């Protein structure tokens, strides 16, 4: 291992009826699936430009259908993910457990700075991710707040289980809960600029208008 920084992308294998439930309620399952594929594709292209950072794709779903599904939407003619992105299955009973396990696994590999993102913010400026790793040289925790009260990025210099345990995921208080735990445990943290997630039609159109 040469690089000291690792980025993990959390995603679900894009299968009909399994992704973007809230968005699907507004635009239908097929349209939501296509939107998710586009979001994943753009995220891949975006983070693939990172320098001095190893990239891992932590996926949820059946491994046997992974490359078959992904090969249907790559724009660069490649099948599945670029070779520079290592694919790892998510492990854990819930989102918090899976995120912590991913963090722990990467730190055990020897990385000193680890950040996780999803694919719900496909147009997230790459500079935000670069800045997150720079800030981790001075802070133990970096968070990218999302407009819906959650976060689009979390970065750490060591695995801290308390930040992922018994968090009420999927509601508007995730960011506040995480910050409160960091302050209680006297964990130094830095907040990146706010950005938005695509979980509804309005934000999908917001992205498409750019």
- Domain assignments of the chain as residue spans, ordered by start: 5-208
Alpha-carbon gap, residue 15 to 29, rounded angstroms = 10
Mean pLDDT value across residues 81-88: 79
Residue 80: both structure tokens together: 């599945």
Residue 86: both structure tokens together: 């290592």
Q: What is the pLDDT of residues 103-159, one digit of tens each?
A: 999 999 999 999 999 999 999 999 999 999 999 999 999 999 999 999 999 999 999
Domain spanning 5-208: CATH superfamily: Spore Coat Polysaccharide Biosynthesis Protein SpsA; Chain A (3.90.550.10)
Residue 139: both structure tokens together: 């802070």
Residue 1: both structure tokens together: 């291992």
Nearest to 151 by CA among 181, 112, 114, 121: 121
Angle at 147 between CA 141 and CA 153, to 5 degrees: 30
Q: Name the strands in the sheet holding 53-60, side by side, starting at the edge strand that comes first in the sequence.
A: 85-89, 53-60, 5-12, 113-117, 151-156, 141-145, 189-191
- Tell me the residue ranges of DSSP E strands in 99-150: 113-117, 141-145
Within 8 A by CB and 6+ apart from 168, the residues are 174, 177
Residue 196 phi/psi, 5-degree rounding, is -115, 155
Residue 189: both structure tokens together: 């943290």
Q: What is the pLDDT of residues 6-54, one digit of tens each?
A: 999 999 988 888 899 999 999 999 999 999 989 998 998 899 899 999 9
DSSP 104: H
Within 8 A by CB and 6+ apart from 139, the residues are 157, 188, 189, 190
Place of tokens 């000193």: 112
Q: What is the pLDDT of residues 168-206, one digit of tens each?
A: 887 788 999 999 999 999 999 999 999 999 999 999 999
């Amino acid at each position: 291992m040469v690089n000291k920084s690792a980025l993990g992308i959390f995603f679900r294998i894009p299968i009909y009826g399994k992704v973007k439930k809230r968005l699907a309620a507004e635009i239908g399952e097929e349209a939501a699936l296509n939107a998710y594929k586009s979001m994943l594709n753009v995220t891949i292209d975006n983070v693939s430009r990172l320098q001095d950072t190893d990239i891992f794709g932590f996926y949820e779903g059946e491994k046997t259908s992974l490359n078959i599904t992904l090969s249907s939407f790559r724009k660069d003619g490649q099948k599945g993910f670029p070779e520079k992105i290592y694919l790892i299955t998510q492990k854990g009973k819930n989102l918090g457990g899976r995120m912590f396990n991913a963090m722990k696994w990467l730190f055990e590999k020897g990385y000193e700075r680890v950040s996780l993102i999803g694919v719900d913010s496909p147009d997230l400026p790459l500079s935000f991710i670069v800045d997150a790793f720079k800030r981790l040289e001075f802070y133990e925790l970096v968070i990218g707040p999302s407009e819906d009260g959650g976060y689009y990025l979390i970065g750490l210099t060591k695995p801290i289980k308390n930040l992922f345990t018994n968090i009420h995921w999927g509601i508007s208080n995730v960011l506040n809960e995480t910050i409160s735990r960091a302050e209680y445990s006297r964990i130094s943290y830095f907040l990146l600029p706010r950005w938005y997630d695509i979980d509804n039609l309005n934000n999908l159109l917001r992205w498409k208008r750019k």
